[in-house]
Amino acid sequence: MRLREVVDHPEFKKRDIALIGHYNSDEVVFAVLARRGEKLLPVPKLFYLIENGPNNPDPEVDVSEINSILRHFGYFEPISTFPPK
């Protein structure tokens, strides 16, 4: 599933997890996931980074990483079936 599809999925919307911006380093660009409404700076207390970059602005996110994101934000059981069938 692509990153844009993940953040638009109802599972993430119900839990207010959103893409709030990007952090840039010399070599890599990271998409920053945090609670909807959080500001990129100062750095939010709870966030998750996904590597993406100029060569891959919408990276593929596998199911294990999606589950890791949900656990990181404190959710252990999906509200709905994820990924959609």
| 2-56 pLDDT tens trace | 999 999 988 899 999 999 999 988 888 999 999 999 999 999 999 999 998 777 8
Is 18 domain-assigned? yes
Give the chain's domain count: 1
Long-range own/partner contacts, residues 32-35 (CB < 8 A, 24 or more apart): 33/7, 33/69, 35/73
pTM: 0.83
Is 21 domain-assigned? yes
Is 84 domain-assigned? no
Is 15 domain-assigned? yes
Q: What is the DSSP letter of 4?
A: H
Nearest residue to 79 (alpha-carbon basis) of 3, 17, 23, 21: 17
Q: What is the DSSP letter of 45?
A: S
The domain containing residue 19 runs over which residues? 3-72
Is 79 domain-assigned? no
